[in-house]
Structure 1
Amino acid sequence: MASAASHVSFLPPILTFCGAAVIAVPLFRLIGLSAVLGYLAAGIAIGPSGLSLVGDPQTIATVAELGVVLLLFIIGLELKLSHLWSMKRDIFGLGLAQMALTALCLGGASLAVGLSPNAAFVIGIAMALSATAIALQMLGERNDLQTPYGQRSFAILLFQDLSVVPVLAILPLLASGMAVENGSIVDRLLVTAEALAAIAAVVLVGRYGLNPFFRILARTGSREVMTASALLVVLGAALLMEEVGLSMAMGAFLAGLLLAESNFRHQLEADIEPFRGMLLGLFFMSVGMSIDLALVREQWMLLAVAAPVVILGKTLLITVLSRFFGATWREGLRSGTLLCTAGEFAFVLLPVALSAGLMLPKDVQIVTALAAITMLLGPIFSTLVEKALLSRPERADEHGEDDLPGQEGELSSRVLVIGFGRFGQIVNQVLLSQSINATVIDNNVERVRDAARFGLKIYYGDGTRLDVLRAAGAEKAEMICICTNDPDTIERIAEILHENFPNARSFVRAYDRIHAVRLLKIGVDYQLRETFESAIVFGRSALEELGVDAETAASCAQDVRKRDIARLFLQKEIGAMGGAELVVGARIEPEPLTSPTAKAKALSPETRDILGEGVL
C-alpha cells in the first residue's frame, strides 16, 4: 500500500502555484496592470531564479501548454467559417506581410551581429511570432476581441500559428543543407498525407458527428458528463493533430471552429472556461520560471539593447502594415503594442534548431531569455500605450473602415432570450418581425432539435449558470428576456441578472400575482403574468359578444390593466392586502386579524342593543 506521503506529494507544487497567483495577480490588477504580468512575475518569484520553490519548470510545461490549447478552442467557438473567410485578406495578406518583414528585419539584425545565416533565419522567425495567449488574454480583459483592431490582431496571430507547421518542416532541410534524398521525399509525402487525413477526419466528425453526440449526452441531464465530453473533444482533436506533426493548438482551434455553428457552443464554452483560465495562468507562470536571471545579469547589456529593439521594431512594423491594410494609426498602434512580444512557439522552435545543429547552446539560451523578457515587458508597454490612447479621445476624422465583415454574430445580439417554450417562441416571433435576431438558449434537447426543423437557430444551455449566460453574450446584451416556465428557476435567473448584468434590461415571465410581486422585489425591469393578457383579451371579447360596443370594452380592459399595475406596486410595498380596494367589484369589509377567543360583552346600554343582549 502506498504511503500517506505519496498521496499528498502533488499538493506542495499545486499550493505553490495557487499561492503565487492569488498574491501576484490581485496586486498587479490593483496597480492597473494586466493579470498576465502578475502570472509572469509570480513565475519568476517561485522559479529557479527566485525562491526556487519549483526546481524544474519543464515539469509543468506540458500541462501548462494545455491552457493555450483550450484558449484556441474557445476562440474557434467564437468564429464561423464564413467569418474566417471574410478575414482572408487580413489573415493571408496582413499576416504574411507581418511575418515576412519582421523575420527579415530581425534576422538581418542577427546576421549583422555575427551569427550564422541559419541561426539568423531561426531567430528572425522565432522573434517574428507573437504571444497568442498574452494577446488574446489582454484583448479579453479589454473586451476588444470583436473590435476592428482586435480582429486584425487575431488575423495576424492566426497566420502565425498556421506558419509554425511549415517552419518546423523547413528546419531539418536547413540542417541537411537542402540535400533531400528520394526516400526522404516519399517520407515527407506520407507525413503530408497523414496530416491531411487527420484534418479531414476532424472536419467530418465535427461536421456530422458531434451534434448528435452532444444531443445524446444532454438528454442524461448530467453536467459532469457534458464537461467531460467537452474536454474529450478538445484534447482528442489536439492529440490527433500532434500525432501527425501539426500543432495541438491548431487542432483545438479547428475543433472549436467546426463547433461554432453547433447548438451546444455556449454550453461547451462555459464548461471549458474554468480549465482554460487555470491552465493559461499556469502557462504564464511557466514562462516566468524559464527566465534565467543569472544569464540576464551576465548578458544584461546585450539584452537591454535587444529587448527594446524587438518590442519597438515589431510595434512600428505592425502599425505601418495595419495602416496599409486599412486601419487607422490609432488602431495600428494598438495592434502593434499588443503583438510586440515574442511568441510561445519560440520556446518550441529554438530547441528544435538546437537539436538540428542550427544554433549554438549559448545562443539558444540568450534568445530564449530575450523572448521571455519581451513577454514580460511587452504587456507593460501595451498597457501604458493603451492608457495614453484612452486619455486622448479619438477624433472623428481618425475613423478608418467600418467594423470588419462577419462581426455581427450571436455574441453581439441585442437580446438574449432564455427559454424557448410556448411563451418564448411567441416572444421570439415578435422580435424577428422587426429583424431582431436574438440569441436563444434552452436546456431542452428536443426543443433545440425541433426548432431546427423550422429553420430556427437556438442553443443548448442552462440559464441558471452564470458562466453559460456570459458565454451566450449576456454582458453585451441590451435586454435579457426570461421566458422559462418554472417560478423558482425564473427567480434564480433574475437574481443572477440583477447581480451580474445590471446594464441589461430584464424582461421576465411571471407565473402568478404572488410570483410577480417577488420579481418586483428582486428588481426586474418588466414582468408579465403568463395568463394576464390572454385573460384581458378573453374578457374584452366576451363583453363585445354580450353587446357592449368595442370602444367601451377596450376602455374597460384598459381600466383593469391600470388598476392591476397600481395594485401590484402597492402589494410590493405594503403586502398582500395592498391595493385591495382597487379590485373591480371588491367589497372590502374590516375583519380582525385573528378570531376572538372570548365572547363579546356589552359595556353600556347602547352596546347591549347592538349585541342583541336586551336589558337585564
Structure 2
Amino acid sequence: MNGTRVEEQHALPYLRETLLFLALAGIFIPLLQRLRVNQVLGFLAVGALFGPFGFGLWAPSQPWLGHFTFMRVEQVSGLAELGVMFLMFMIGLELSTERLWSLRRWVFGAGVAQVGICATLLGGLGYLFGLSLEAAIVLGCVLSLSSTAVVMQLLNERRALHTPAGQAAFSILMLQDLAVVPLFILIGVLAGGDSAGLGYLLGFTLLKSAGAIVLIYLLGRRVIRPLFQFFVKQRQPDVFMALTLLSTLGIAGLTAAAGLSMALGALLAGLLLAETEFRHEVEVTIEPFKGLLMGLFFMSVGMQIDVRDIVRQPLLIPLAVLTLFAIKTAVIGTIFRIGGFHWGRALESGVLLGQGGEFAFIVVAYALSTKLIAAPVAQFLMLVVGLSLFATPALAKAGIAFGNWWERRHRQQVGDLDGDAAAPAGSRIIIAGFGRIGQMVAKILQEQGVPYVAVENDARLVTRLHPRGFPVYFGDASRAELLHKVHADQAAAVVLTMDHPASVLHAVKSIRRECPHLPVYARARDEKHAAALMHAGATLVVPEALESGLQLSATVLQRLGFDEARAFELVNDERELRNAGLRGEAQL
C-alpha cells in the first residue's frame, strides 16, 4: 500500500513546483507588468522572493510557506535550460545563413576582440586581488561573457534586433556562445595541470566544433524540409508541433553529442527552418512555450541570489557589479565606435552587453567540481553575475537615455533632423539608405529640383557626407521616433535602398504601421524578398536580380537585331508580368 502511494506521489515529478510557476506566471507577473516593471526584472525578482533564499529561509519555522517556495534550484533548472534553447531557436528563425555571413566581421572580429580584451582585464583584476593565476583566468573568461537570454529579450521588447546596433550585439553574443566550448577545454587542462598542449587542444576542439556545425547544417538541409512536407499534408496541428519540437531538440541533441552547447543546436535548427516555407507557422507554434520557459530560466537565476551575502558585503559586491559593467561598457563601447557607431549608441550597446552571462553558472559549477576555484570564489562569482542580470534592464534603459541625449547634443556630427523640416508638405522624398543606390536616386532627384532627406545607419558615411552639404542624417528608418523627426507623414514617398534584406522588411512594416498611406518604394534582393516586402505593405518593389536580368535581356535582343523600341517593349512586358505575379503573391 505504501509502495503504491509513493508511486502515485512521483508519477509527475515537480508537480507542485510546476503549478506554483504557472500561478506566478499567470497572476503575479502580469501584476508587475501593470506596475511597468520589466518582464525580465519581474521574473528575476519573483525567483529571488519565492526561492530558497527568499521565503525558503522561513519555511522550516513556517511549514505553510513550503507550499509557496522553490526549495531547490535544480527542481526547475532542466526546464530553464529549455527556455534558453527555444530563445536561440526563435533567433535562428529570424536569421538566414546569408545574413550570418554578412555579419562575419562582427562575429569573428569584434566578438573575438571583446572576449579577449575583457577576459584579460577582468582576469588581471582578479589576480591583483590575490586569486591564483588559474582562478583569475577562469574569472576573466567567465565574466567576459554576456547574457544572450537577457540581451535578446530586451532587444525583442524594443524591436531593436534588426537595427545595426542590434545585429552587432547579436554577433558578439554568437561568438561568446561559441567560446563556451573551448572554455570548458581550458578549465579541464588547467585543472589537470597540463598547460603544454593547451594550444593544440584548443585548436583541435575549435576545428572539430566547426566541422560538426557544418556537417549538422548540411545534413539538416536535406532532411528538415522533406520531413515537414511529407508529414504536414493533412494539416494536423499536433503533428506540426511534434515535428517542430523534434527538429529543435533533435539537432540540439546532435550538437550536445558533438561536445557543443544545446543552445547552439537550437540556433541551427531555427536557421534550417527559416529557409523553408513553414517558418511563420513555426514561429506561431513555439512563441507561447518560449515565453514561459524563458520566464522559468530567469526565475532560476533569481533563486540563486542570496540577499544575505549582499548584507554581509554591502560595499564589495555592488562595487564588483559596477566594475564589471564599467570595464565591459568601456571595451565594447570602444569596439562599437571603431565599427562605425557614434559614441552615444556605442556606449548604449556596451551597457546592454555589460552583464555576466547565463553560461557562467554552468562554467563556474564545472570549475568548482574540478577544484580549480574555491567555493567562496564560486559563490562570489555567481552572486555578481546574478545581480548583474538583475541590474541590466534598469541600466539598459539608462543607456538608451544616454544614447538619445548624445544624439541631441551632437547633432552637427550626425545631422540635425529638427532643422530639416523646411520642405513643403508632400513635396519631399525620404531616402532610407545612402549607399551607392541611395546616392544615385538622390543625384537624379537633385538634378530635377526635387527636395529629399536621407537617413543612413552608417555613422562614418554620415559624418563624411553631411559636412559636404548632403542632407543625410544618422538613424534607423524603422524607428517610429525617427519617422516623426523627418516628418514622414508629410512626405511624398519613401525609398528604401538598404543592403540588408531584413532591415528593409523591418522598415516597411514600421513605416506602414506609422504612416499607412505613405507610398513605399523598396529595393529587394530577389523575387522571394520582393514578395515578402509586398506582403508587408510596400507600394512598389524593384528586385535587383530581376532588373539586372531584364537589362541584360534588352542588350542581347538589340545585339541580335531587334530595334530598341521592340526590345524595350518585350522587356517591359516581362517586367509587368513579374510585378503582377508579386502583387498576386502579396494578396494571398
TM-score norm. by structure 1 comes to 0.64
Displacement of 1:209 in angstroms is 1.4
- 1:241 corresponding residue in structure 2: 255
Q: Is the 8 A contact 1:413 1:473 kept in 2?
A: no
The one-letter code of the counterpart of 2:327 is: G
5+ residue gaps, structure 2, are 57-68, 415-456, 462-475, 477-497, 511-518, 541-583
In structure 2, C-alpha distance between the alignment counterparts of 1:198 and 1:58, rounded to whole Å: 30
- 2:44 corresponding residue in structure 1: 40
Structure 1 residues 480 and 134: alpha-carbon distance in aligned structure 2, compared to 1, 3 A threshold: farther
Displacement of 1:356 in angstroms is 1.9
Are 1:408 and 2:502 counterparts? yes
The one-letter code of the counterpart of 1:477 is: A
In structure 2, C-alpha distance between the alignment counterparts of 1:262 and 1:409, rounded to whole Å: 20
Q: Is the 8 A contact 2:89 2:270 kept in 1?
A: yes
Structure 1 residues 13 and 329: alpha-carbon distance in aligned structure 2, compared to 1, 3 A threshold: same
Displacement of 1:15 in angstroms is 2.6
Structure 1 residues 114 and 94: alpha-carbon distance in aligned structure 2, compared to 1, 3 A threshold: same
The one-letter code of the counterpart of 2:104 is: K
Displacement of 1:97 in angstroms is 1.2
Where in structure 2 are the equivalents of 1:17-36 lying within 5 Å?
17-36=21-40
In structure 2, C-alpha distance between the alignment counterparts of 1:106 and 1:330, rounded to whole Å: 24
In structure 1, C-alpha distance between the alignment counterparts of 2:102 and 2:342, rounded to whole Å: 20
Q: Is the 8 A contact 2:48 2:302 kept in 1?
A: yes
Please identify which structure carries the higher helix content. Answer: 2
Q: Is the 8 A contact 2:504 2:522 kept in 1?
A: no
Where in structure 2 are the equivalents of 1:220-259 lying within 5 Å?
220-259=234-273
- 1:372 corresponding residue in structure 2: 386
In structure 1, C-alpha distance between the alignment counterparts of 2:407 and 2:206, rounded to whole Å: 51
Displacement of 1:333 in angstroms is 1.8
Displacement of 1:185 in angstroms is 8.2
- 2:155 corresponding residue in structure 1: 139
Coordinate RMSD, CA, aligned: 3.5
Counterpart of 2:536 (choices 471, 477, 484) is 477
Q: Is the 8 A contact 1:412 1:473 kept in 2?
A: no
The one-letter code of the counterpart of 2:86 is: L
Are 1:213 and 2:307 counterparts? no
Structure 1 residues 329 and 273: alpha-carbon distance in aligned structure 2, compared to 1, 3 A threshold: same
The one-letter code of the counterpart of 1:328 is: H
Structure 1 residues 166 and 187: alpha-carbon distance in aligned structure 2, compared to 1, 3 A threshold: closer
The one-letter code of the counterpart of 2:80 is: A
In structure 2, C-alpha distance between the alignment counterparts of 1:21 and 1:380, rounded to whole Å: 21
After superposition, what is the alpha-carbon deviation per residue over 1:270-323, rounded to whole angstroms, capped at 9, x for unaligned? 212111111001000000001122222223332021111111221122112110
Q: Is the 8 A contact 1:263 1:458 kept in 2?
A: no
In structure 1, C-alpha distance between the alignment counterparts of 2:22 and 2:102, rounded to whole Å: 41
Structure 1 residues 198 and 293: alpha-carbon distance in aligned structure 2, compared to 1, 3 A threshold: same
Are 1:282 and 2:296 counterparts? yes
- 2:514 corresponding residue in structure 1: none
Counterpart of 2:344 (choices 330, 343, 346) is 330
- 1:603 corresponding residue in structure 2: none
- 1:59 corresponding residue in structure 2: 75
In structure 2, C-alpha distance between the alignment counterparts of 1:92 and 1:221, rounded to whole Å: 42
The one-letter code of the counterpart of 2:536 is: A
After superposition, what is the alpha-carbon deviation per residue over 1:179-217, rounded to whole angstroms, capped at 9, x for unaligned? 5689x989996x778756643442233211111111112
Displacement of 1:70 in angstroms is 0.9
Displacement of 1:169 in angstroms is 1.0
In structure 1, C-alpha distance between the alignment counterparts of 2:27 and 2:460, rounded to whole Å: 42
In structure 2, C-alpha distance between the alignment counterparts of 1:311 and 1:456, rounded to whole Å: 43
Are 1:170 and 2:206 counterparts? no
In structure 2, C-alpha distance between the alignment counterparts of 1:244 and 1:210, rounded to whole Å: 20
The one-letter code of the counterpart of 1:113 is: F
Are 1:309 and 2:313 counterparts? no
- 2:424 corresponding residue in structure 1: none
Q: Is the 8 A contact 2:344 2:402 kept in 1?
A: no
Structure 1 residues 397 and 178: alpha-carbon distance in aligned structure 2, compared to 1, 3 A threshold: same
- 1:292 corresponding residue in structure 2: 306
- 1:74 corresponding residue in structure 2: 90
In structure 1, C-alpha distance between the alignment counterparts of 2:110 and 2:200, rounded to whole Å: 32
In structure 1, C-alpha distance between the alignment counterparts of 2:114 and 2:203, rounded to whole Å: 28
Displacement of 1:324 in angstroms is 1.1
Q: Aligned with 1:300: secondary structure?
A: coil
Counterpart of 1:359 (choices 360, 373, 394) is 373
The one-letter code of the counterpart of 1:326 is: G
- Paired residue total: 437
Q: Aligned with 1:209: secondary structure?
A: helix
In structure 1, C-alpha distance between the alignment counterparts of 2:101 and 2:211, rounded to whole Å: 22
Stretch of structure 1 that moved more, 382-391 or 67-76: 382-391
5+ residue gaps, structure 1, are 417-430, 440-454, 460-471, 482-529, 531-616
Where in structure 2 are the equivalents of 1:577-588 lying within 5 Å?
none
Q: Aligned with 1:219: secondary structure?
A: coil
Q: % of aligned pairs identical?
A: 35
Structure 1 residues 173 and 222: alpha-carbon distance in aligned structure 2, compared to 1, 3 A threshold: same
Q: Is the 8 A contact 2:329 2:350 kept in 1?
A: yes
Structure 1 residues 192 and 342: alpha-carbon distance in aligned structure 2, compared to 1, 3 A threshold: closer
Displacement of 1:405 in angstroms is 4.6
After superposition, what is the alpha-carbon deviation per residue over 1:362-399, rounded to whole angstroms, capped at 9, x for unaligned? 11111111110111112211123324544676436336
Q: Aligned with 2:55: secondary structure?
A: coil
In structure 2, C-alpha distance between the alignment counterparts of 1:218 and 1:291, rounded to whole Å: 45
In structure 1, C-alpha distance between the alignment counterparts of 2:388 and 2:539, rounded to whole Å: 42
In structure 2, C-alpha distance between the alignment counterparts of 1:186 and 1:144, rounded to whole Å: 38
Are 1:13 and 2:17 counterparts? yes
Q: Aligned with 2:232: secondary structure?
A: helix
The one-letter code of the counterpart of 1:61 is: S
In structure 2, C-alpha distance between the alignment counterparts of 1:233 and 1:341, rounded to whole Å: 31
Structure 1 residues 206 and 126: alpha-carbon distance in aligned structure 2, compared to 1, 3 A threshold: same
In structure 1, C-alpha distance between the alignment counterparts of 2:29 and 2:460, rounded to whole Å: 36
Structure 1 residues 156 and 179: alpha-carbon distance in aligned structure 2, compared to 1, 3 A threshold: closer
After superposition, what is the alpha-carbon deviation per residue over 1:125-161, rounded to whole angstroms, capped at 9, x for unaligned? 1111001000000000000000011011111101101
Instruction: Indicate the structure (1 or 2) with the bigger Cα radius of gyration.
Output: 1
Q: Is the 8 A contact 1:161 1:250 kept in 2?
A: yes
Q: Is the 8 A contact 2:305 2:383 kept in 1?
A: yes
